Chains A and B, each alone.
Chain A
Amino acid sequence: MEIIGERINGMFKDIREAITNQDKKPVQDWAIKQTENGATWLDVCVGPTAGDPAAAMRWLVNTVQEVVDTPLSLDSTNYDVIEEGLKLCKRPALINSCHADRYKIERVFPMAVKYNAKVIALAMSEESGIPKTADARVALAMELVAAADEFGLPLQDLYLDPLILPVNVAQDHAIEAMETLRQVKMLSDPPPKTTVGLSNVSQRCNNRKLLNRTMIAMLMASGLDSAIADANDDDLMETAAAARIIMNKEIYCDSFVELYKTNHYK
């Protein structure tokens, strides 16, 4: 299970201020903390308020890479900003993310191939939004799989995101996402990888951590390979470690939780 640590994001106040003041400490502290707790990837997102997002992305990438060698997930809706980051990444990065719209695919997939990067691909299109049913999501996932094949992006480098919505307002979506995960694994051989923005399931809910970790176990059983999540939620990481063991992905040992955190499961 690859955890994409979500914390270095300009949506959080400490990171936003760090970017504004060019203060490396908060960013580097989070990079180290998430890595030490088992994050496989570190998501970096400049957030909505940065004046020059490309400069902010360059600064974030360099700042993080000064203290850890954990690969980065470059998170932006602006692909030029992502490309600025890709140029600086010392290890193959993850592009977060691409919709199933043709014009976006044509911009992102060749860029991913050029920089040997992986891509989070969303089973939604910009114009029609998030489909309700699993069938409609799988159809979009199939478009993305066929496009990966077309552009020469290895299928294992495609991280399909079936999309999950907050359970308090879109309660009927989670089960469709699970069904999507199951079907996505049948689309190709080797199958694409899968990911979700996990914390989304509990937006503005009570007991967020309980919802998050229950969700990750259920999604993993449906075929989830990675999640953008809070790598410093120990209960969540332990749940992921336990699910790996129960699914026979790792050989059991008494210290399976500690091993999960140190191995990063790349």
Chain B
Amino acid sequence: MALTGLDIFKLLPKKNCKECEQPTCLAFAMALANAKTSLDKCPYVSDAAKETLGGAAAPPIKLVKVGTLGAEREMGDEVVLFRHDKAFYHPTLLAVEISDKLSGAELEAKVKKVNELAFERVGQSVSIDMMAVRNDSGNADAFAAAVKAVADVTCFATVLITEDPVAMEKALAIIGSQKPLIHAATEANWEKMVELAKKYEAPLVVKGKGLDATADLVEKVAASYKELVVDLGTRELSQSLAEITQTRRLSIKKKFRPFGYPVIAFTASENPRDQVIEAAAYITKYASVVVLKADEKSQILPLAALKMNIFSDPQKPSQVEPKVNAIGNVTADSPVYITTNFALTYYTVEGEVSASKIPSYILACPTDGTSVLTAWAAGKFNGDKITEFIKACGIEETVKHRNIVIPGHVAVIKGALEEKSGWKVLVGPAEASGINAFAKGNFA
């Protein structure tokens, strides 16, 4: 967002010397805000002011990349506080932590297990995004060995967690070319960490203690390196959420540059179930990376699902995959319903069909995620289109009968659909809430 007249005025020398050809500094600020003059016209403006004015056009939160090739992920570059205002663009990256205290077969087994945290869900493949290796041993060689074990098998980007520059250097010698996330530059080690990050062109986490100290440290580091991720150092959930919220607000609403970077969060609880809940809170509240120790599929899947939901575009209707869905223990004689693939419509129908306790098929007809009446009005849910889908989706090979239930609101398409498809059409209830009674009356 462009700077306002007042923002610019505050950066000007307030000499009212007229050398810029404007009567006052205030008038000059207004002219600048309206792009009617240029900053070079003022000979007295400070370098700091020039940088602030120049940086105003930059996005509020920098886009930072981690990993290479298929494992590459993007962080940051968000513009809103609430997804309904526009959308959240870059889904939170989930990183599962591996301790370098493990070794040998134990380590190998752990790395293999984490590497397999990938799933199929509603027609999409989802997985964790990163493996984090933590230098718990305090030993640089043990850290390097653990990093090597990860590097040998991983298909994910990595996070390297140690504040010891020697250990970090050894680890980067192994995996540096894959652009891992370096965690972390602190007040004590930041010069050396920046050097390493620069050498491998890898993103660097700046870890402070709370809002003020972290902002100061980020400012120092950003003077020489800008591929940064912020760690506020806070691990207690409520405090951490409050602070991350502040970084998002300050960067977007106040253009506060030290927090204009993605944020990393760590779950603190020992209990894996609590870690999942913590991670869920961070996914919803602005963390770009969440590191957790929980590594069971049952623990990661709900987080992956939450990510998909939170980072979906609210402007686009949510859709289900257009296909034949079997509800209950279906047979070749089970009844067949058809509805649209708008998620709201589909799941309303699905809920009522399963409540009827009569195993059935539901066809989710592709209507670009629009509801029954909208799709019908747009010519996406009529005799032709439904026939096309009946022939393509495989239902004719699945059931022996040729009876299909259509939504009551589009009873008018009955004739055309029967004629085109050769199926017998039953007009169902206008509202899905009538399905139970309808099913009992017709199919029980």
Contact call A142/B7, Cβ cutoff below 8 A: no
Contact with A along B1-41 (1 / 0, CB 8 A): 10011110110000000000000001101100100000000
In the assembled complex, the Cα of A187 lies from the Cα of B7 at a distance in Å of 8
Taking the nearest CB of chain A, how far is it from the CB of B23, in angstroms? 9
Contact call B10/A149, Cβ cutoff below 8 A: yes
A191 CB contacts on chain B under 8 angstroms: 4
In the assembled complex, the Cα of A146 lies from the Cα of B4 at a distance in Å of 11
Partner of B9, one of A138, A139, A146: A146
Of chain B, the residue at the smallest CB distance from A143 is B26
Contact call A149/B6, Cβ cutoff below 8 A: yes
In the assembled complex, the Cα of A155 lies from the Cα of B9 at a distance in Å of 15
Of chain B, the residue at the smallest CB distance from A186 is B4
Partner of B4, one of A138, A139, A143, A188: A188
Taking the nearest CB of chain A, how far is it from the CB of B153, in angstroms? 50
In the assembled complex, the Cα of A108 lies from the Cα of B254 at a distance in Å of 28
Taking the nearest CB of chain B, how far is it from the CB of A8, in angstroms? 35
Q: Does A52 contact B (CB under 8 A)?
A: no
Q: Does A254 contact B (CB under 8 A)?
A: no
Of chain B, the residue at the smallest CB distance from A138 is B30
Contact call B26/A187, Cβ cutoff below 8 A: no
A146 CB contacts on chain B under 8 angstroms: 6, 9, 26
B29 CB contacts on chain A under 8 angstroms: 142
Size of A's binding interface in residues, CB under 8 A: 13
A155 CB contacts on chain B under 8 angstroms: 6
Most buried by B among A143, A189, A191: A189
Taking the nearest CB of chain B, how far is it from the CB of A123, in angstroms? 13
B253 CB contacts on chain A under 8 angstroms: 189
In the assembled complex, the Cα of A188 lies from the Cα of B2 at a distance in Å of 11
Contact call B6/A145, Cβ cutoff below 8 A: yes
In the assembled complex, the Cα of A142 lies from the Cα of B26 at a distance in Å of 8
Taking the nearest CB of chain B, how far is it from the CB of A249, in angstroms? 14
A189 CB contacts on chain B under 8 angstroms: 1, 4, 6-7, 253-254
Majority secondary structure, A binding face: helix
| A-contacting residues, B249-292, CB 8 Å | 253-254
Taking the nearest CB of chain B, how far is it from the CB of A246, in angstroms? 18
Of chain A, the residue at the smallest CB distance from B27 is A139
Contact call A187/B27, Cβ cutoff below 8 A: no
Of chain B, the residue at the smallest CB distance from A184 is B5
Taking the nearest CB of chain A, how far is it from the CB of B95, in angstroms? 35
Majority secondary structure, B binding face: helix
In the assembled complex, the Cα of A142 lies from the Cα of B6 at a distance in Å of 8
In the assembled complex, the Cα of A128 lies from the Cα of B27 at a distance in Å of 18
Taking the nearest CB of chain A, how far is it from the CB of B35, in angstroms? 11
Contact call A188/B30, Cβ cutoff below 8 A: no
Contact call A186/B33, Cβ cutoff below 8 A: yes
Taking the nearest CB of chain B, how far is it from the CB of A217, in angstroms? 25
Contact call B5/A187, Cβ cutoff below 8 A: yes
Most buried by A among B7, B10, B29, B33: B33
In the assembled complex, the Cα of A143 lies from the Cα of B10 at a distance in Å of 13
| B-contacting residues, A211-252, CB 8 Å | none
Most buried by A among B5, B7, B253: B5
In the assembled complex, the Cα of A145 lies from the Cα of B5 at a distance in Å of 9
A142 CB contacts on chain B under 8 angstroms: 5-6, 9, 26-27, 29-30
A145 CB contacts on chain B under 8 angstroms: 5-6
Of chain B, the residue at the smallest CB distance from A145 is B6
Taking the nearest CB of chain B, how far is it from the CB of A232, in angstroms? 36
In the assembled complex, the Cα of A143 lies from the Cα of B7 at a distance in Å of 13
In the assembled complex, the Cα of A146 lies from the Cα of B7 at a distance in Å of 10
Taking the nearest CB of chain B, how far is it from the CB of A193, in angstroms? 15
Of chain A, the residue at the smallest CB distance from B255 is A189
Partner of A187, one of B1, B4, B10, B254: B4
A143 CB contacts on chain B under 8 angstroms: 26
In the assembled complex, the Cα of A260 lies from the Cα of B439 at a distance in Å of 46
Most buried by A among B6, B7, B10, B29: B6
B10 CB contacts on chain A under 8 angstroms: 149
Of chain A, the residue at the smallest CB distance from B2 is A186
In the assembled complex, the Cα of A188 lies from the Cα of B9 at a distance in Å of 10
Of chain B, the residue at the smallest CB distance from A155 is B6
Contact with A along B38-56 (1 / 0, CB 8 A): 0000000000000000000
B6 CB contacts on chain A under 8 angstroms: 142, 145-146, 149, 155, 187-189
In the assembled complex, the Cα of A201 lies from the Cα of B371 at a distance in Å of 47
Of chain A, the residue at the smallest CB distance from B5 is A187
Taking the nearest CB of chain A, how far is it from the CB of B195, in angstroms? 38
Partner of A186, one of B5, B27, B254: B5
A149 CB contacts on chain B under 8 angstroms: 6, 10
Contact call B27/A188, Cβ cutoff below 8 A: no
Of chain B, the residue at the smallest CB distance from A187 is B5
In the assembled complex, the Cα of A163 lies from the Cα of B15 at a distance in Å of 31
B7 CB contacts on chain A under 8 angstroms: 188-189
Taking the nearest CB of chain B, how far is it from the CB of A204, in angstroms? 35
Of chain A, the residue at the smallest CB distance from B6 is A188
In the assembled complex, the Cα of A154 lies from the Cα of B30 at a distance in Å of 20
Taking the nearest CB of chain A, how far is it from the CB of B309, in angstroms? 22
B27 CB contacts on chain A under 8 angstroms: 139, 142
Taking the nearest CB of chain A, how far is it from the CB of B130, in angstroms? 36
Contact with B along A134-158 (1 / 0, CB 8 A): 0000110011011001000001000
Taking the nearest CB of chain A, how far is it from the CB of B26, in angstroms? 6
B9 CB contacts on chain A under 8 angstroms: 142, 146
In the assembled complex, the Cα of A139 lies from the Cα of B27 at a distance in Å of 7
Taking the nearest CB of chain A, how far is it from the CB of B240, in angstroms? 27
Taking the nearest CB of chain B, how far is it from the CB of A128, in angstroms? 14
In the assembled complex, the Cα of A189 lies from the Cα of B256 at a distance in Å of 13
Taking the nearest CB of chain A, how far is it from the CB of B128, in angstroms? 38
Instruction: Enumerate 22 A-B pairs (CB-CB under 8 Å) in ascending A order.
Output: A138-B30, A139-B26, A139-B27, A142-B5, A142-B6, A142-B9, A142-B27, A142-B29, A145-B5, A146-B6, A146-B26, A149-B6, A186-B4, A186-B33, A187-B4, A187-B5, A187-B33, A188-B5, A189-B6, A189-B253, A189-B254, A191-B4
Q: Which 5 residue pairs spanning A and B have beta carbons closest together?
A: A188-B6, A187-B5, A188-B4, A189-B4, A142-B30
B residues at A contact (CB < 8 Å): 1, 4-7, 9-10, 26-27, 29-30, 33, 253-254
